Chain A
Amino acid sequence: MPSFTLNGIEVPFKEGETIIQAADRAGIFIPRFCYHPALEIEGNCRMCLVDIEGGPPKLFSACSTQPKDGWIVHSNNEKVRKARAGILEFILINHPLDCPICDQAGECDLQDYAYLYGLSKSRYKDDKEKKPKHKILGPTIIHDAERCVLCSRCIRFLRDVVGTGELGLFERGAKTYVDIYPGKQIDNPYSGNLVDLCPVGALTSRDFRFKARAWDLDRCESVCPDCSTGCNIYIDSIGKKVYNLQYQVYRIRARANTEVNGYFICDAGRYDYKWLNGDERLWASIVSCGDHRDKIRTAAAIEQVAEALKKVVDQHGPSSVAGIGNARSTNEENLLLKKLIQDHIKSPHLDFVGAHGDVSEMEDNMLVRKDKNPNSKGCQNIGMAPGEEGRDLDGILDDADSGDIKALVVLSVGYKMPEDVRSRIARALEKVEVGVLIDCMDTELAHKADWTLASVAYAETHGTYTNYAGRVQRLQPTMPLGGEARPGWELLRDLLNGMGAVVDYPSAWAVTREMLENCPAYEGLTLQNIGPQGAIKTVGRQEEEKETQEEQSGEKS
């Protein structure tokens, strides 16, 4: 494989790649503002200048120059460092001293580069250019043209990726600025990505404005629960000790996954986190007695539920119990519910709320899919379906109504359930003798269930979702929560044990492993190979892995 040396390190490259792309793959960082792997190369910021030994005396932009085999390239020699410091100086002469009030502080490329590569004193004595500041561009974005480094990422994104082109570059020379056409708005379903893309604080989020400092946020890697695409996300939160606040989620950002969502996520998923902080969250389990509702220690609740279920089975037989899983819950929760109902209690009546057929149909031409559940495919793959002579969802709800089903265990995720289904389940929970709900929010269902076991939401648990294509992707919890609300899989494990099943799952991963080992849809997948980008069963998977290894070592085996 052809290669060039960068700062003395051999870097292999593919045909058509530029220096910066090969360097990124090799893990050698060359600073940049305008280059972005998802956007057309522009080479206007001049931050990525490198020195090519033996070539013309001027420096070349690494983002736009394709290397040749045997080149000797420097990105950190004196010539490059002086040029880079010069470029930074040029950017900073008109840059406002906004760091103390700028949301980007702490995650700003300009700050980082100025610290790493810049001069510490300013030689500029003249007035700075004045441009529009704190200008609202639409429902999600607020703009500060003085902070802008004119990298044009936003322009290219809106023009080429989304196709709406709301932003333009106006005027010429040092007076150039980015802005929206007078009277128009940025109002497309992917606008939030502009905040992620903008390397400085020129385009910032109205939702996040002034709420928290980047360095106070804890970050976890998760998966968006709002449709079957399963875009990868970061969830940024702050725990109890900072700002004297309870745990709060502050924002969701896009996480790159070239196999699923590229570098972007949709606005619907991005801004759907406020419910995690809402007042309706269940932080304690609840037991109902008639109209009376009481908080109850979760462990005690689980004991009582186990007792009640055992009694129903003894009196009326296994087929009087049914379970309803949920395509918004994790694989692990659904799997343990299935284990409880079908393997332990031996009732065939099991189904799930969610999409039962093909879930790959797109709703737009970018990322959003029609199935608004993150784990329909997961439920399908592990067999959340009626056993022999078992009743499906409609059947279960009918039987609950008629009295044939006397105990019901339901997985739910707050309000995220279609209205008609929810009201039927509510009625069912009310009707049956033993109505058990596992939920993270205190909704109508929790008012009708006899016991509501408080579970945490997707953002606070380990687990996996399986997206429309069959890719298993893992969730990380934002922070360990040691309260009465617990991960759903733990509640079900303890319930299984409480009913005499004797199962040993020291962590969610133990459940995941069992799923991977037993499910034909996940053949070849192991805990080891579900990395940050998830894993999917593919034909010829072995060959793919071998190729990746070859690339990384730069030689054929």
Chain B
Amino acid sequence: MDFSGEAEKEFQLILERSENKQGALMMTLHLAQREYGCISPEVEEMIADRLELTLAYVHGVVTFYTFFHTESVGKYLLQFCSTLPCALRGSEELFDHCSKKLGIKAGETTQDGKFTLVKVECLGSCGTSPVVQVNEDYHEEMNIEKLDKLLDSLE
């Protein structure tokens, strides 16, 4: 397993822009998660090899940053912001509704592998709360109706 094609080109750019190999780790992890879906042990081994770091070190960085998942997630990662500004405007009820609708609890994935449901901390869009991030996209000023429409629209 290794980067190839466009990913390899981007990896080379990342190396160019970093002071040293260790400094390339954050952006390399982002690239790898986009390419492979998650940072599995194989991915860690490849990155450790390319950046000349120990496995324990890479794993330590991966597990520190909650953005990186070590196991694969559903096609759509539903991230519900649950910090105070969103909580004040109904994020809790929104989450409960979604949980019931999909039949899964926080951290779980639907049987068909389509949705993974998680609670996250402040997404930095408090003026348009409640906010739900689906994969990379922010969905703002959500309510139950909009949420239902959104879920139905996701293939």
* Chain A interface residues (CB < 8 Å from chain B): 159, 164-172, 180-184
Contacts and interface: CB of A to CB of B under 8 A. Distances in A.
B18 interface: no
B66 A168 contact: no
Nearest to A170: B63
- What's the dominant secondary structure at chain B's contact region? helix
B60 interface: yes
B59 interface: yes
A171 B64 contact: yes
A169 B60 contact: yes
Given A168-B60, A170-B60, A172-B66, 6 more contacts: A168-B54, A168-B59, A171-B64, A172-B63, A182-B41, A184-B55
Contacts of B56: 165-168, 180-181, 184
A181 B41 CA distance: 10
A35 B148 CA distance: 55
A181 B66 contact: no
Interface string B43-75: 000000000001111011001101000000000
28 contacts: A159-B54, A159-B57, A164-B54, A165-B54, A165-B56, A166-B54, A166-B56, A167-B56, A168-B54, A168-B55, A168-B56, A168-B57, A168-B59, A168-B60, A169-B60, A169-B64, A170-B59, A170-B60, A170-B63, A170-B64, A171-B63, A171-B64, A181-B55, A181-B59, A182-B41, A183-B41, A184-B55, A184-B56
B116 to A, nearest CB: 20
A171 B56 CA distance: 12
Interface size of B as a range: 10 to 19
Q: Which of B41, B56, B59, B64 has the most A CB atoms < 10 Å from its CB?
A: B56
A168 B64 CA distance: 11
Contacts of B57: 159, 165, 168
Contacts of B66: 172
Contacts, number: 35
Contacts of B64: 169-172
A166 B59 CA distance: 11
A279 to B, nearest CB: 41
Contacts of B55: 168, 181, 184
B9 to A, nearest CB: 29
Nearest to A164: B54
Contacts of A181: 54-56, 59
Q: Which of B55, B60, B66 has the most A CB atoms < 10 Å from its CB?
A: B60
A194 to B, nearest CB: 14
B122 to A, nearest CB: 16
**For the complex of A and B, 4 pairs with smallest distance between CB atoms:** A168-B56, A168-B60, A165-B54, A181-B55
A167 B60 CA distance: 9
A184 B60 CA distance: 14
Contacts of B59: 168, 170, 181
A164 B60 CA distance: 15
B133 to A, nearest CB: 20
A411 B78 CA distance: 78
Contacts of A166: 54, 56
A180 B63 CA distance: 13
Nearest to A182: B41
Contacts of B41: 182-183
A400 to B, nearest CB: 55
Nearest to A177: B63
A21 to B, nearest CB: 28
Interface string B88-119: 00000000000000000000000000000000
Q: Which of A164, A168, A184 has the most B CB atoms < 10 Å from its CB?
A: A168
A53 to B, nearest CB: 38
B26 to A, nearest CB: 15
B14 to A, nearest CB: 22
A434 to B, nearest CB: 60
